[in-house]
Structure 1
Amino acid sequence: MAAETETIEQISRNVPGRRVLDAATIAELREALSMLRDHRYTEGYTLTSHSTVAYELLKEMLESVPGIDDASAWWLLLTALDKPVWPADRQIDGLLVELGLLGPEDTPENGRHRKLESELSNRQIPALHRALAGHVNYCSEDHATTDCELKQFTLSHRIDRQVTAEGTEKPTVVDLFCGAGGLSHGFTRGVTGPEFDVALAVDEDEAATDTYRHNHPEIPHQKVRCDDIGNLAENTDEFEDLAPDVDLVVGGPPCQALSVAGYRSRRSDDDSYSVIDDPRTELYQHYVSLLDTLEPQYIIMENVEGIRSPVGDSDRRVIDDVEAALSELGYTTDHRLIDCSRFGIPQERDRVILFGVRSKTGSEPAELVTEFFETLIPDTETETTIHQALSNLPRLRRDEGGDVIAGRQRGRASKFVRDNELHSGTRLTYNHQAREHPMAKDQKLFSDVMEPGDNGWDVKYGTEYGHLIEYDVGTEENPKFKDKYRMLHWDEPSPTIVAHLEKDANSFILPDYYEYARPDVTKQDSARSRGITPREAARLQSFPDSYVFLGPFTSQFRQIGNAVPPVLGERIASVLGEFISDGSLAAASTSDSIAAKSDD
């Protein structure tokens, strides 16, 4: 019962706009929970395995406790008790319609939305919706108002954003391999440069496109496609209908086959393996094919450093093949290896950025490509630490947190968070769930053995606990897999956030905040030494806190690790916007059109 009563008090204190529960009401809620714990239809205080019990009867039983009204009873069933059902309630039914989960004409069957409950369970996001249902009882009935935390989840908000965007003249962009939308987010914010209009976004990961749609309400649903890019490349007529006029195409094919690590991994299992023949490498060919169909004036392609590395024992590089193919389409291109930390992004992340201008004659496009990179890359480095990136997020212990939790850490947000407005737009904290780390050896490593900066190799050969490292770390002369276990430094940038976080977070161990970041012996707790959460990974990637990642816990990590940092996307959009507004790139477009007409 301790967890439930703590939840009652926490939400009472921390949810803005909600009535404050006094001590007497909290005591009554505790009594109600005790009644359910002892109820003969329950085991303990969870009802999730007793869906046959009429929850209307349970709600009425709760209301029999003095001081427990209808709203409090529903909240207990939906939130504190984690019961996966939706009640037949006017206010909550209205919210379900807003969320697009019920049609306006739908009516509940005997007080149960059975089909809806099943669909939510299949979508693996019931916890989020139950939290919303609990919140709606204490929120304004107008869920689309600017002050309502639920606004971003409603259809009326999406419609309002799309209507507002209609009729405005903006440069258009297609985002191929869009993932969760980090690059698009940088192009659509319009904070430091012009706002772009996304004509189409494509990715084959359903959870990622769900996340993309949710966080880009201004983009109509049909313009976000969950599809294999190869299918679109084979159906160019449909593709042209979806995005008839495009100024810019952005995106980068998935990088696993193009990375040096990916090549070595496959090579170790198959001596006949070739990166060039890998189906994933062919994705860039589909990318080029779609460019030929869309004929955008400009292209931005992002990929891993390995795209510039020789393939195997040959001198061939994938980047050379890409640029040669683009040249045949009439693009003048160049690429640079970009250190994301130079843009203030709090991680060491090297990525290749390719920029191209479509042209047929003259040397002006080459000059513009050079100017783009000279303008894009900062003259000075701006280092942002993990401590600065994670400021004012709740400090969790292992197995704490959830998809939605109330409140933030006390204290002022860092300059990095404020300047990039990462903490604006929400008063809740999403996707902030810490792993349990159930293995005793891991808990021992995190709590007692490792210090910031230590990795598995250090433990194996530098401590008496080497037996806890149960994999081959190599030798001093030939180390390998050193970072399979790694404890981070609060006062340094993070290593590259990777999709492998979906498997485990052992190479992203965050040491106890109150021992290493802000020492306080009264608050130190070794249980806070644990792997980073999806929200912390998102902060390190420069996603705002209002950016909600849908899908399973593991998928959230994969989406974040595969994303382009939004701050980098915003910088790229800003530079392109300056060129467009100055007419420099527009002049190249005009020259190209004249050249094309003369060729005809």
Structure 2
Amino acid sequence: MAIPVIDLFAGPGGLGEGFSSLLDDNNERIFDIKLSIEKDVNAHETLRLRSFFRKFKPDEVPEAYYNIVRAKSWRKRKELIEKLKDDFPVEWDEADQEAWCVELPYPEEYSSEGERKGGYNKKEIEERNNLIDDRISQALSNEKNFLLIGGPPCQAYSLVGRSRNKGIFNEDHRVHLYKEYLRIIAKHQPAAFIMENVKGLLSSSVDGVKIFDLIHKDLNNPTSVFPEYSCPKYRIFSLTKNPKSIKNGEPEYRSGKDYLIKSEDYGIPQKRHRVILFGIREDFQHPGQFLEKKGKVPLKDVIGDIPPVRSGISRRFTGYDNENKYANGNPKRVYQKLNDSDDLWSSVINKQINNLKKWGDLPLNGLKSGPTEYTNGIGSEFIKCNKTIDPKHPLKSWFIDDKLQGLANHESRSHLTQDLMRYMFAGLYVDKFGTFPRLKDYAKHNSDLIPDHANVDSGKFTDRFRVQIANEPATTVTSHISKDGHYFIHYDPSQCRSLTVREAARIQTFPDNYLFCGSRTAQFHQVGNAVPPYLAYQIAKIVLDFYKKNVS
């Protein structure tokens, strides 16, 4: 029988995808996602559609699913999804039951003026918890030895978030959302759990107490926080190394860093560092297996063969309106709206190339004046194509689905004309120096390359425009990619753009037949918040070994 899984704070389903991708000899899924809980509407749509996909064996997924992925607009996709509901009512109903759009409760939050901003009062929390507990129990059908996976929202723990908010405060409900994860452990007592969070968890603190130590202690003994439940203890293990010792049955490690997983060491084309805990109920034993290191995967290996697309153009910065000012007293910026086209793009790019020729010593690497030859334009929600990765690449079978015959979610953003100039410069700079330029490097070549930004002289954003390096794993894909693409510039200066959703998804190791729902901004946000599925797949193998050795 498949191992039942409950997925909390599921996002678009990265952890669940990795676990459910593990198949037995009969091509059946070894881990069965019984319930995925996510509050974001767009991520929930993604989860539900992927759940439908998993109702079939990998080689038996109906053509109707692929027609949805191949649609070139979301209007068409919505029409096809409605038809899918009618044509496959049983499978769709099962998917709808599995993917649940609901917010896990957190304590009331108030403004400094005493107004309620969010959260739930005591009665509302109790009602919501009862609802969640009933749904979990129904999904599990009284199976106690299930697996719990997921990770509480991590913005409050992230290093960037702490810098922006000048520390972490007890009032920030995101610090305490792990307690809902803990409560579900205490109430439902899984055989094991996998809990993921950001690296900043190791160094953040509340009221002088390290958050990691607090969470570790609570996870070890859930009843200490929720005495109303009679819950066994859990031993918390690293997924990468043995503890330095076992004391009274409890694993002891040198530091919290022993729980840190550097994704690039495990075949993920991305320098993504995350804390991942493997909790095992005290009546079971650790399987003795750990993640095995693999060779590093350069970025170009997973996106280098994806069809090139040009950047879009949205507007041009023309100056300031000194008669109208922002709230801080600065004059308002004035922009000229532009109608994107291949001809306009060629004109802008040609001008940039000519400027770069005047400005200095960067090799133009074959960049030529004249109209672009990109037949894909700015891309599309689906592009028909064949070879998108080296047939000999070890992740080829992970990414590629021959039935798909193309790529979804591969459409470029629209940018300011001035930003395109900076993107091209950044790509050429990396070609010559092997590293991305800082703002001082832009200034050294020409003042026109310096962005019009209030913080440009603060010294805080010297890496504001960060081009990815082709021969290395990418930098961490985060949810910030949904706001702008400045930190995720494509290494090819001729494309002169930020990454597309599909390229970000490749970096995160989502299979190409994994469709992200919602607007492009929503798609980026989902990809950036996810756990890399291929890393989760490797973790799933260790968890499977645990079940084989402990659970009959």
Matched with 1:90 is none
Structure 2 equivalent of residue 178 of structure 1: 10
Q: Comparing both chains, which one has the higher relative contact order based on Cα–Cα distances under 8 Å and sequence gaps of 6 or more?
A: 2
Q: What is the CA-CA distance between 1:500 and the residue it aligns to?
A: 0.7
Deviates more, 1:415-424 or 1:285-294: 415-424
Structure-2 separation of matches of 1:563 and 1:422: 20
After superposition, residues 226-375 of structure 1 pair within 5 angstroms as: 226-230=101-105, 232-235=128-131, 236-243=133-140, 244-246=142-144, 247-267=146-166, 274-311=168-205, 315-329=208-222, 330-335=233-238, 336-359=259-282, 365=285, 368=286, 371=288, 375=289
* Deviation sequence 1:297-337 (CA, Å, 0-9, x none): 1010000011111427x642222222222222311113410
Per the alignment, do residues 411 and 301 of structure 1 end up closer, same or farther by CA in structure 2, a change over 3 Å counting? closer
2:551 to 563, 583, 586: 586
Tell me by how many angstroms 1:436 deviates: 1.9
1:126-205 paired onto structure 2 within 5 Å: 169-191=1-23, 195-205=30-40
Distance 1:208 1:410, change over 3 A: closer
Does the 8 A contact of 2:423 with 2:465 survive in 1? no
Aligned CA distance change for structure 1 residues 288 and 278 (closer, same or farther; 3 Å): same
Structure 1 unaligned regions, length at least 5: 1-168, 268-272, 516-525, 588-600
Q: Which amino acid in structure 1 is aligned with residue 218 of structure 2?
A: A
Preserved contact between residue 202 and residue 212 of structure 2 (Cα < 8 Å): yes
SS at match of 2:143: coil
Provide Cα deviations, 1:320-363, integer angstroms capped at 9, x if missing partner.
22222222231111341000011110010000011111126xxx
Assess, with a 3 A threshold, how the Cα gap between structure 1 residues 387 and 356 changes in structure 2: closer, same or farther.
Answer: same
Cα distance in 2 for partners of 1:352, 1:411 equals 30
Q: 1:422 and 1:304, CA in 2 relative to 1: closer, same or farther beyond 3 A?
A: farther
Q: Does 1:533 align with 2:514?
A: no
CA-based RMSD: 2.5
> Which deviates more, 342-351 or 182-191?
182-191
* AA matched with 1:245: E
1:263-313 Cα distance to aligned partner (Å, 9 max, x none): 22112xxxxx6433311112101111111222101010000011111427x
Check conservation: 2:426, 2:467, Cα contact below 8 A: no
- For 2:217 and 2:302, how far apart are their aligned partners in 1? 40
Give the greater-gyration-radius structure (CA): 1
| Pair 1:172–1:357, CA change in 2 (3 A) | same
Higher strand share: 2
TM superposition score normalised by structure 1? 0.60
Quickly say closer, same or farther: Cα 1:468–1:536, change in 2 above 3 A.
same
Q: Deviations over 1:168-209 (max 9, x none)?
A: x11111010111111111111124896201111100011101
Structure 2 unaligned residues grouped into runs of 5+: 56-93, 106-124, 223-232, 239-258, 313-377
Letter in 1 for 2:490: L
Match of 2:311? 398
Find 1:447's aligned residue among 400, 424, 432.
424
Amino acid at match of 1:278: D
Q: Match for 2:33: what amino acid?
A: V
Distance 1:468 1:408, change over 3 A: farther
Count of residue correspondences: 385
CA contact (8 A) 2:426 2:465 kept: no
Tell me, yes or no, if the aligned pair for 2:51 and 2:98 is still in contact at 8 Å: no
Distance between the aligned counterparts of 1:562 and 1:262, measured in 2?
A: 14
| Correspondence 1:546 to 2:513 | yes
Which has the larger displacement, 294-303 or 215-224? 215-224
The separation in 2 between residues aligned to 1:576 and 1:449, in whole angstroms, is 43
Q: CA separation in 2, counterparts of 1:540 and 1:282? A: 30
Task: Provide the rounded CA distance (Å) in 2 between the counterparts of 1:467 and 1:446.
Answer: 10
How far did 1:555 drift? 0.4
Instruction: Name the SS for the 2:551 alignment partner.
Output: helix
Give the secondary-structure state (helix, strand or coil) at the position aligned to 1:202.
strand
Corresponding residue SS for 1:487:
coil
Secondary structure in 1 aligned to 2:205? coil
Q: Secondary structure at the match of 2:306?
A: coil
CA shift for structure 1 position 382: 1.3
